[in-house]
Amino acid sequence: MHATYDYPEAVLERPAVSAVRDVMTRNPRTVSPGTSVDEAHTLMQHYHIRHLPVVERGRLVGIVSDRDIRLVLPSPATSLAVHELRYLLAHLTVREIMQHPVLTIKLESPLTAAVRLMLQHHIDALPVVAHGRLLGILTRSDILQEFVTLQTGLPVAA
115/111 Cα distance (integer angstroms): 6
**HSE of 72 in the Cβ direction (CA atoms, 13 Å)?**
23
Residue 137 CA to its chain's centroid (Å): 6
- pLDDT, residue 18, reads 74
Q: Would you say 130 and 104 are in contact if contact means Cβ atoms under 8 Å apart?
A: no
58/147 Cα distance (integer angstroms): 32
pTM of the predicted structure, to 2 decimals: 0.81
Domain ranges of the chain: 17-152
What does CATH list as the number for 17-152?
A: 3.10.580.10
Query: Taking all residues of the chain, what is their mean pLDDT, rounded to a whole number?
Result: 85
